[in-house]
Amino acid sequence: MSTDTDPNAEADAPRFDRVDWEAYAGGRTGRVSTTTKLFALTVAPIVALAGYDRVAAGERETVFDAFAAATDLPLQAFGLDFAVTAVDYAFAATLLLFVWYLVVPLFQHPRIASHYWRRFKRNRPALVSLAWLFVVFGGGLLGPLVLNAPEQNILAGHQPPVGLTVAEANVPQCVGEVADGRCGGTWEYPLGTTRGGVGVFTGVVYGMTISMKIAFITTTIVAGIGITVGTVSAYAGGWVDEVAMRAVDIVLSFPTLLFFLLVLYVYGAGLGMFIVVFSLFGWGGTARYVRSKALSVSEEEFVKAGRLSGASTRRVVRRHVVPNTASSIITQLTLLIPGFLLAEAQLAFLGLGDSSIASWGQLIAAGRSDLAFAPWIVLAPGIVLFLTILAFNFLGDALLDAVDPEATTEAER
Amino acid sequence: MGVAGYVALRVGWAAVVSVIIVTVTFGLLAAAPNPSVQQAATQAALEGGDPQEAVERERQLRGLDEPLHVRYLDFLTGVYTLEWGWSEYRSQPVTTALADAVLYTAQYSIPWTILTVLFGPLIGVYSAANMYTWRDHAATGFAFFGYAIPNFFFGIILLLIFGVWLEWIPIVFRTEVPAFSLANARQLAIPVFVLVTGSIGAIMRVSRNESAAFRNATFMKTAKAKGVSPLRAYAYHVMRPTLVPLSTTLVGQLLAIFLGSSLLVEVVFGIPGLGRLTFNALVAQDTNLVLGSTLLFTFLAVVGNLLEDLAFTVLDPRISYDDREL
Amino acid sequence: MRPGRHTIGAAGGPSITRRQWLTGLGMGATAGLAGCSADDDSGTEATDDGDGTGSEPDGTPSVSGTYDTVIPSSFSTLNPLYNTGSRAGTAIGRTLDPGYTFNTDGEYFPLLYDLSTDDGGSVWVFDIREGLSFTDPYGQVDASTFVYQIRELHQTDWAATAASADWTGITVEETGEFQFQAELPEPRLLWPESYDPLLYPVPTDIVDPYVADEDVEGLRQEEALLDLSFTGNLGGYTLEEWERGAGTTYSRNDEYYLRDIGEGPELFSNAPYFEGASIDVVEERASRLAALETGEADSAGIPPERFSEFEQNPRVSTYRIPQPFNRILSVNMRDNGWNAGPGNLFRHTAFRQGLAAAIGKEELIAGIFRGLAQPHYTWQPSWSEWHPGDDAVTQLGTGDRYGGEVARGLVGDAIADSEFGYRFDGNALVTPEGETITLDLYHLAGGETSQLIAEFIGEELSDSLGIEVTIEAIDAVRFQQDYWTAAPQGGTDTVDGEAVSWDRPTPNNPGPRSVTSAESWDMSIVYGLNTYPLNPLTNAAFFDGADARYNPVGYYPEFDATGVFERARSADSEAALQEPFTELFQNLAEEQPYVMLAFGDELSGYTPDLVGPTEDFFNGWDFPAWYFDA
Summarised one tens digit per residue, pLDDT across range B7-38 is 888 888 888 878 887 888 778 777 765 554 44
CB neighbour list of residue C271: distance below 8 Å, 6 or more residues apart: C236, C256, C258, C259, C624, C625
Range of the domain at B43: 2-88
* pLDDT at A25 > cutoff 70: no
CA atoms within 13 A on the CB side of A56: 14
- Average pLDDT of chain A is 76
Percent of chain C with pLDDT over 70: 90
* pLDDT at A18 > cutoff 60: no
Strands of the sheet containing C113-117, edge to edge, are C113-117, C123-128, C179-183, C171-176
Interchain CB contact of B141 with A (< 8 Å): no
Interchain CB contact of B219 with A (< 8 Å): no
Q: In terms of domains, do B145 and B169 share one?
A: yes
Q: Which of B70, B88, B106 is the last residue of a domain?
A: B88
Q: List chains touching B (3+ CB pairs under 8 A).
A: A, C
Q: In terms of domains, do A114 and A241 share one?
A: no
Number of domains in chain A: 2
Cα separation of A26 and A4, whole Å? 32
Buried residues in C22-48 as b, exposed as e (16+ CB within 10 A): bbbbbbbbbbbbbbbbbbbbbbbbbbb
Q: In terms of domains, do A266 and A214 share one?
A: yes
Helix (H, G, I), strand (E, B) or coil at C605: strand
- Sorting pLDDT into bands at 50, 70 and 90, what band is B236? low
pTM of the model: 0.79
Q: What is the pLDDT of residue B112?
A: 87
Q: Is residue B320, in this structure, part of any structural domain at all?
A: no
* pLDDT at A8 > cutoff 50: no
Q: What is the pLDDT of residue B32?
A: 63
Q: In terms of domains, do A63 and A146 share one?
A: no
Q: Which of B62, B88, B114 is the last residue of a domain?
A: B88
Q: In terms of domains, do A59 and A141 share one?
A: no
Q: What is the pLDDT of residue C629?
A: 84
Give, in order, the Cα–Cα distances in Å from A386 to each of A129, A381, B244, C422: 12, 8, 31, 50
- Sorting pLDDT into bands at 50, 70 and 90, what band is B204? confident
| Least confident segment among A288-292, B65-69, C535-539 | B65-69
Selected residue with higher pLDDT from B235 and B201? B201
| DSSP conformational letter for C208 | H
Q: Cis bond leading into C342, ω under 30°?
A: no
Range of the domain at A115: 26-120
* pLDDT at C569 > cutoff 80: yes
Amino acid (one-letter) located at B168: W
* pLDDT at B215 > cutoff 70: no
* pLDDT at B134 > cutoff 90: no
Q: In terms of domains, do B84 and B170 share one?
A: no
Q: In terms of domains, do A134 and A89 share one?
A: no
Give, in order, the Cα–Cα distances in Å from C24 to each of A150, C480, C549: 41, 16, 12
* B92 chain-C contacts, CB cut-off 8 A: 226, 244
Q: Is residue B220, in this structure, part of any structural domain at all?
A: yes
* C455 chain-A contacts, CB cut-off 8 A: 152, 196
Q: In terms of domains, do B72 and B124 share one?
A: no
Q: In terms of domains, do A233 and A307 share one?
A: yes
- Sorting pLDDT into bands at 50, 70 and 90, what band is C158? confident
Total residues found in chain C within this entry: 630
Q: In terms of domains, do A107 and A145 share one?
A: no
Mean pLDDT of A54-68: 62
| Least confident segment among A89-93, A307-311, C408-412 | A307-311
Assign residue B179 the CATH number of its domain. Answer: 1.10.3720.10
CB contact under 8 A, B157 and A255: no
- Interface with chain A: mutation pick from C42, C312, C452, highest number of A CBs within 10 Å: C452
Cα separation of B39 and B48, whole Å? 14
CB contact under 8 A, A346 and B325: no
- Sorting pLDDT into bands at 50, 70 and 90, what band is A77? low
Q: Is residue B324, in this structure, part of any structural domain at all?
A: no
In this complex, the residue of B45, B171, B285 whose CB is nearest that of residue C507 is B45
Mean pLDDT of C186-202: 84
Say what the alpha-carbon torsion angle C479, C481, C485, C487 is, to the nearest 10 degrees: -160
* C473 chain-A contacts, CB cut-off 8 A: 355
Q: In terms of domains, do B186 and B298 share one?
A: yes
Q: What are phi and psi of B124, to 5 degrees?
A: -60, -50
Q: Is residue B322, in this structure, part of any structural domain at all?
A: no
ipTM over 0.95: no
- Interface with chain A: mutation pick from C436, C448, C457, C469, highest number of A CBs within 10 Å: C448
CB contact under 8 A, C245 and B267: no
Q: Is residue A65, in this structure, part of any structural domain at all?
A: yes
Cα separation of A383 and A377, whole Å? 11
Q: Is residue B59, in this structure, part of any structural domain at all?
A: yes
CB contact under 8 A, C367 and A154: yes
Q: In terms of domains, do A136 and A80 share one?
A: no
CB neighbour list of residue B215: distance below 8 Å, 6 or more residues apart: B128, B129, B131, B238
Q: In terms of domains, do B66 and B107 share one?
A: no
- Sorting pLDDT into bands at 50, 70 and 90, what band is C243? confident
* pLDDT at C283 > cutoff 50: yes
Instruction: Give the residue on B whose Cα is nearest the Cα of A238.
Output: B325
* B260 chain-A contacts, CB cut-off 8 A: 257, 342-343, 346
Interchain CB contact of C368 with A (< 8 Å): yes
- Which class for C338: exposed (0-12), middle (13-18), buried (19 or more C-beta within 10 A)? buried
Give, in order, the Cα–Cα distances in Å from C474 to each of A150, B276, C10, C438, C444: 21, 20, 37, 18, 5
* pLDDT at A208 > cutoff 50: yes
* pLDDT at A9 > cutoff 80: no
Q: In terms of domains, do B68 and B142 share one?
A: no
Q: In terms of domains, do A99 and A142 share one?
A: no
Interchain CB contact of C451 with A (< 8 Å): yes
- Sorting pLDDT into bands at 50, 70 and 90, what band is C178? very high
In this complex, the residue of B45, B268, B277 whose CB is nearest that of residue C488 is B45
Instruction: Give the residue on B whose Cα is nearest the Cα of C281.
Output: B270
Q: Is residue B326, in this structure, part of any structural domain at all?
A: no
- Sorting pLDDT into bands at 50, 70 and 90, what band is B47? very low
Mean pLDDT of B247-270: 71
- Average pLDDT of chain C is 83
Q: Which domains does chain C have, with CATH numbers?
A: 18-301 (3.40.190.10), 327-600 (3.10.105.10)
Alpha-carbon B260 to chain mean position: 8
Q: What is the pLDDT of residue C228?
A: 92
How many residue pairs from chains A and C have C-beta atoms closer than 8 A?
A: 78
Mean pLDDT of C72-100: 85
- Interface with chain B: mutation pick from C287, C294, C509, highest number of B CBs within 10 Å: C287
- Distance from the A268 Cα atom to the nearest Cα atom in chain C, whole angstroms: 9
Helix axes of A200-236 and A86-98: crossing angle, nearest 10 degrees: 60
Number of domains in chain B: 2
Q: What is the pLDDT of residue A73?
A: 63
- Sorting pLDDT into bands at 50, 70 and 90, what band is A329? confident
Q: Which of B88, B104, B124 is the last residue of a domain?
A: B88
Q: In terms of domains, do B149 and B165 share one?
A: yes
Q: List chains touching C (3+ CB pairs under 8 A).
A: A, B
Residue C99: closest CA among C135, C151, C141, C160: C141
Percent of chain B with pLDDT over 90: 1
CB contact under 8 A, B176 and C160: no
Mean pLDDT of C502-518: 86
Instruction: Give the residue on B whose Cα is nearest the Cα of A380.
Output: B153
Interchain CB contact of C520 with A (< 8 Å): no
Mean pLDDT of B303-323: 63
CB contact under 8 A, C478 and A268: yes
Q: What is the pLDDT of residue B114?
A: 86
Selected residue with higher pLDDT from B320 and B147? B147
Percent of chain A with pLDDT over 90: 5
CB distance C31 to C529 below 8 Å: yes
CB contact under 8 A, A369 and C285: yes
Q: In terms of domains, do A310 and A247 share one?
A: yes
* pLDDT at B226 > cutoff 80: no
- Sorting pLDDT into bands at 50, 70 and 90, what band is C522? very high
In this complex, the residue of C305, C340, C459 whose CB is nearest that of residue A152 is C459
CB contact under 8 A, B259 and A1: no
How many residue pairs from chains B and C have C-beta atoms closer than 8 A?
A: 127
Q: What is the pLDDT of residue B254?
A: 65
| Least confident segment among B87-101, C99-113, C477-491 | C477-491
Residue A398: closest CA among A14, A17, A110, A128: A128
Selected residue with higher pLDDT from C309 and A237? C309
Total residues found in chain A within this entry: 413
pLDDT digits (tens, 9 = 90+) for B85-124: 888 778 888 888 898 888 888 888 888 888 888 888 888 8
Q: In terms of domains, do B66 and B123 share one?
A: no
How many residue pairs from chains A and B have C-beta atoms closer than 8 A?
A: 130
Q: In terms of domains, do B9 and B143 share one?
A: no
* pLDDT at A380 > cutoff 70: yes
Question: Which H helix or E strand runs over A64?
Answer: helix A63-71
Cα separation of C74 and B89, whole Å? 9
Q: What is the pLDDT of residue A12?
A: 44
Q: In terms of domains, do A234 and A349 share one?
A: yes
Instruction: Give the residue on A whose Cα is nearest the Cα of B325.
Output: A242
CB contact under 8 A, C445 and A170: no
Q: In terms of domains, do B32 and B100 share one?
A: no
Q: In terms of domains, do B72 and B152 share one?
A: no
Q: Is residue B196, in this structure, part of any structural domain at all?
A: yes
- Sorting pLDDT into bands at 50, 70 and 90, what band is C143? very high
Q: In terms of domains, do A285 and A241 share one?
A: yes
| Least confident segment among A2-16, C488-502, C551-565 | A2-16
Q: What is the pLDDT of residue B312?
A: 65
Q: What is the pLDDT of residue C441?
A: 93
In this complex, the residue of A172, A369, A371 whose CB is nearest that of residue C303 is A369
Mean pLDDT of C211-233: 90
Q: Is residue A312, in this structure, part of any structural domain at all?
A: yes
Cα separation of C182 and C456, whole Å? 49
Mean pLDDT of C195-218: 90
Q: What is the pLDDT of residue C174?
A: 93
* pLDDT at C489 > cutoff 50: yes
Q: What is the pLDDT of residue B318?
A: 52
pLDDT digits (tens, 9 = 90+) for C257-268: 998 888 888 888
Cα separation of C286 and C290, whole Å? 6
Q: What is the pLDDT of residue A176?
A: 82
Q: What is the pLDDT of residue B266?
A: 87
Q: In terms of domains, do B195 and B292 share one?
A: yes
Mean pLDDT of A135-161: 85
